[in-house]
């Protein structure tokens, strides 16, 4: 989970590799929304191609206005309650048509992290 301020520009770089560890050059990578994708607004492309090294970069800009309330990073106790009142969005990075998951299993063709961006005061 990442906390950002309204209007922030967020740069995300992902690395795609094949089963043999070599870069997956020229692969399409898409940021797929999770769980309805929350209420935070962002502009920027959610799809891109990896370069010769298997890297792809996304630049997203928060379109939210400044929030009011408690910054959830102030204390560990305030995170859960403050976060529910703040706009957020989340994505998985999907490579091509691969099935993605955050767990381990024999049917996994892609493993990825989930990205959550929470807009804070």
Q: What Cα–Cα distance (Å) separates residue 94 from each residue in 4, 40, 71, 109?
A: 23, 21, 31, 11
- Domain count across the chain: 1
Gyration radius from the chain CA atoms = 16
pTM comes to 0.76
Alpha carbons 59 and 37: distance in angstroms, whole number:
17
**Confidence label for 55 from pLDDT (cuts 50, 70 and 90):** very high
Q: Hey, which of 10-24, 49-63, 95-109 has the most confident mean pLDDT?
A: 49-63
- What CATH number is attached to the domain comprising 62? 2.60.40
Range of the domain at 71: 2-120
CA-wise closest residue to 61 among 1, 121, 119: 119
**Confidence label for 2 from pLDDT (cuts 50, 70 and 90):** confident
């Amino acid at each position: 989970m990442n906390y950002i301020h309204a209007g922030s520009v967020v740069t995300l770089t992902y690395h795609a590799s094949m089963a043999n560890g070599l870069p997956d050059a020229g692969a399409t990578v898409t940021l797929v929304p999770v769980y309805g994708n929350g209420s935070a607004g962002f502009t920027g492309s959610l799809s891109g191609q990896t370069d010769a090294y298997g890297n792809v970069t996304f630049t997203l800009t928060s379109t939210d206005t400044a929030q009011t309330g408690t910054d959830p990073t102030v204390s560990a106790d305030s995170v859960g309650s403050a976060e529910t009142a703040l706009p957020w969005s989340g994505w998985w990075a999907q490579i091509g048509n691969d099935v993605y998951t955050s767990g381990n299993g024999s049917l996994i063709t892609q493993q990825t992290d989930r990205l959550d961006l929470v807009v804070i005061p």
